[in-house]
Structure 1
Amino acid sequence: MFDRTQWVLAGMSIALSVQLSQPVAAAAPVGKAVQTAQTNSIGVAEAALKEGLLLYQQGTVEAKKSAIVQFEIALKLFREASDSHGEAIALMGIGKAYSDLGEKLKAREYYSQSLPLFRAASDRSGEAVNLNNIGQVYSD
């Protein structure tokens, strides 16, 4: 039987898997150099997201703090690449790590930023996991 943390991790893993299975599209067709730079940026962002998830799953305070750093790197790169769905996943990861560290206000702040991005992307599972995370912050 899964406990709350395992459900949330499963949801984050699913959301990450869905994100990584999406084709990468250029923000604007202004040339191959821009497309290549954006593709590289998204690839680096996805790698940082994966690293953050691996660190988060270690469960220690230090690993979760390191996960936040990786999620923030991913967030910055997804924003630069105009990948709002990747941005939503990174924001949710930051929120979950802060929640686990007891910083509930920061967690709510990040969850609140990610929710409209999941909705805009029509990612119902990401939205559901995020809403569950928000509920957990209020119930703890």
Structure 2
Amino acid sequence: MWLGLGVVLSLIGFVVVGPVLASGVVRVLGAILLRAFGPVGRMAERNALRNPRRTGATGAALMIGLALVACLSVVGSSMVASATEELDKTVGTDFIIQSDRGLPIVPQAVEAVKNTPSWSGSPSTSG
């Protein structure tokens, strides 16, 4: 709960402080990086400095979008890890042999699996 509150307050803070930070960041980048791009860089710097609120709002929107993507990426990875762990615990085997259409496995297939050199167990056939 505290973490969620902290994230929300941080996002609100960045949205409020964004325009103030935007003009300073643009000036520093304009002095260092944007001059290398010639007239296009100077035009971009002037455009960003002309309306720092718009520049800050755009930066805040990008930051929120990236935060959401990162959050969903973490949630997705966590769900995959949990499902994989649960499947490993529940099934307890490395391979599952089953037919495409839910038909029983033919005895020849069971024997072929049993006769493989790396086989070390009894098959559990399910239709």
TM-score by length of 1: 0.30
Which structure's residues are more often helix, by fraction?
Answer: 1
In terms of Rg, which structure is larger?
A: 2
Give the alignment's TM-score, normalised by structure 2: 0.32
